[in-house]
Amino acid sequence: MSSREAILQRIRERTSAAPAAPPLERIEVWPDTGRDREALVERFTMELEAVAGEVVRCSSIDEARAKLAELVDAAQWSTIAAADTPLVREAIGGIDGDRVVYPEAGFEPKQLAQIPAAVISAEYLLADTGSAVVRAPTGEARLLAYLPEASVIIGRTEQLHEHMPAAWGEISERLREEQVPGEWVVISGPSRTADIEKILILGVHGPKRLVVMMVDGP
């Protein structure tokens, strides 16, 4: 046995003999105060509007479909890039199919950047920062959150949590699932920066406009 093999053998023996690591203890960073749903909606709206975001409350997915169509027409968005999720497909039902594009593998970023708006869905909504937690299973899905000038996020009020620690138990369980690929993105309002002469400018590193459509019922 060479010296290298001997070293590797000792490492294997010591590693296999090491005791199993104890399960991680869940530490409560911020307690969940148990605010009711309406209080969470109010907090979410206040926080998002404070950073130039917009909230559209909808009583049902039918109302969301109608309001989204109105929003698209009012903004004069000629084309919409849509995430291929069940909630988005329901919400864009009132828009002419010729105006909707589902970016697939191989879709060029330059093409996506030329589309004026994207519609994506939220996995969770965080009230304390007015943030939407979005899952991006592919590179194209991830770019949907960054390249179009406007972004519309569809979410349900039942997805509201007071803050990230309150949602983390559910998120961490899903992160363990091997069949859930990609990454997660936390979006808190339109892109903004004040790097240049401390002047706040929107839309430098991402969407200039962000609208969250919050759906109450089915």
107 vs 71, higher pLDDT: 71
Q: How confident is the model over 127-143, as pLDDT tens digits? A: 999 999 999 888 888 88
Please check the confidence at residue 78 and state whether its pLDDT lies above 90: yes
- 35-215 adopts what CATH topology? Rossmann fold (3.40.50)
Average pLDDT on 72-76 reads 95
Please check the confidence at residue 200 and state whether its pLDDT lies above 70: no
At residue 20, the pLDDT reads 60
Confidence (pTM): 0.81
Taking CA atoms, 73 is separated from 79, 87, 94, 95, 173, in Å, by: 10, 20, 11, 9, 40
Average pLDDT on 152-168 reads 94
Q: What are phi and psi of 215, to 5 degrees?
A: -100, 125
Q: How confident is the model over 17-57, as pLDDT tens digits? A: 556 656 555 556 677 777 889 999 999 999 999 999 999 99
Residue ranges per domain, the chain? 35-215
